[in-house]
Amino acid sequence: MLGLIFIILILLCLLICVRIVEKSGTNYWRDRNVVFKKPLLFFGNIIDVILLRKSFNSVVKELYFELCAPYFGIWYLGDPQLVIKSPDLIKDILVKDFDYFQNRHVSHIEDIDKFTARMLAFMDGSRWKQKRATVTPVFSSNKLKCCHVHIREIAKTMICHINTTKLNVQMDLKKLCKEYTIGALSVIIFGLNISCFNTQSPILKINPCLSLLDSIQFTLYFSKSYLLKVFIPKYIKCSAKQIMIEFVSDILNKKRKLLSNNIGFNVLNSLIDDEDNNLDDVISRLSEFFIASYHSTSSSISLALYELALNKNIQSKLRQEINENFDKYDDISYNELIFMEYLDKIIHETLRKYPIMSIIGRTCVRSYKMPNCALTIEEGVRVLIPLSALHHDPKYFPEPNLFDPERFSKENIRERPAYCYLPFGAGPRQCLGEKMALLIMKLAVVYIIRNYEIDVCEDTNIKVEASLMDFVLDVNGNTSIRFKAIDSSTREATPHQ
């Protein structure tokens, strides 16, 4: 009898503790007059993420349209996080008051994953500023202009690769864009022209899919939970890390043997020239640049071409602009490329509809009083910028699921808030590789549309799904596209000829 009473008392105590924890969690945002969605005990608002039913981006996007306020609160496991909807407040956080939000999203990183801790995206404060300064010059317009000729040759090689197949051919668009992107990134990051088509690059072996355990680990990565010490999650899996180590080692060997094929301005040289970097630093940072750029850029190229295949009138208008900018040597200069207005609209509309990053995260490093409201964000609280939701908000982009390049006409850009479209982020921690990604994307689109009419096939079924990792969208399904070669003699005469 006493044993039964003891068990009942223990259960009652546990129930009381649960209610206290639940009430304190609910009260956090209520006490600060912040709109919020009631959390589930222990799991907060992300139980569907942990169970692989939804991505974190999907959860935040649903709440974005459900909760009417310039910002709202959520619970990420046991951590309160603030989601910002107002473009004006986004500007304050990312740009104007950046010093309060200069850190990214991950806690305890050096204790749990030293390989990732060496990456720029996960560095904090002064260390980030110092290391970023060593590679920023490589991504300048002048340096990319030097790489333009080499990337252009890779685009031409891609056309030759397509030409080796039959006319009016059906090809795997996703695979083609991945191979091209590997070649382009090898120029900028490693300073080498390498064969990228019809080869089995080890990078293609990196599997982005996550298991349930991977999902739990990745979820913990962005919390302050003590369970981090138990799961010891890895941002990049050991298998992927080993592939990158082998890949980079192979590249280093090639650089030693192929000095005549070595392009001087590249990320690898800048990292080696930094005396503070050891080999682990170099491999880790090269892995960061390559993996992040490889997946996101190749996906964006695939989606731009997919939309052009679906929208023949847009494709034809772009082809006319392309033909007007090619010279008599069948080339396009760097300056002509970056000043092609309609191409620029198409690329930006692709990045709006399919944002590379679905969410940007920042951590408040000291208490911050938000302008024009009573809320003070406490030190350590994470702030989220929901890019995918902003890019699909009808208030800024009417009929958001429609592909319409004219959204990015000068007139339309002026009519909407500046900070509702942020495919590469904004402020001092804006994506370092923005200009690089745009250059690679534009050259691929230009050379394919110049040489081919592209169309969807009967079995084309491209699915764009939010990655469980929430950094980039995954392009899945049947990605076959039909390429019909254009007779060069039928092209309109250009001003250069």
Q: Is 196 annotated as a binding residue?
A: no
Angle at 257 between CA 255 and CA 260, to 5 degrees: 75
Distance CA 224, CA 206 (A): 28
CB crowding 181-198: b at 16 or more within 10 Å, else e: bbbbbbbbbbbbbbebbe
Residue 24 corresponds to which tokens in the numbers above? 């304190």
Cα Rg of the chain, angstroms = 25
Please enumerate in sequence order all residues whose Cβ is within 8 A of that of 292, keeping only pairs 6 or more positions apart, or say none: 121, 433, 471
How do strand 382-385 and strand 79-84 relate by DSSP bridges? parallel
Distance CA 27, CA 109 (A): 29
Distance CA 354, CA 201 (A): 26
Q: Cβ distance 219 to 50 under 8 Å? A: yes
How do strand 368-369 and strand 376-377 relate by DSSP bridges? antiparallel
Q: Cβ distance 417 to 90 under 8 Å? A: no
Phi, psi of 75 (to 5 degrees): -120, 125
Q: Cβ distance 107 to 371 under 8 Å? A: no
Phi, psi of 326 (to 5 degrees): -85, 145
Binding residues: 431
Binding residues for heme: 431
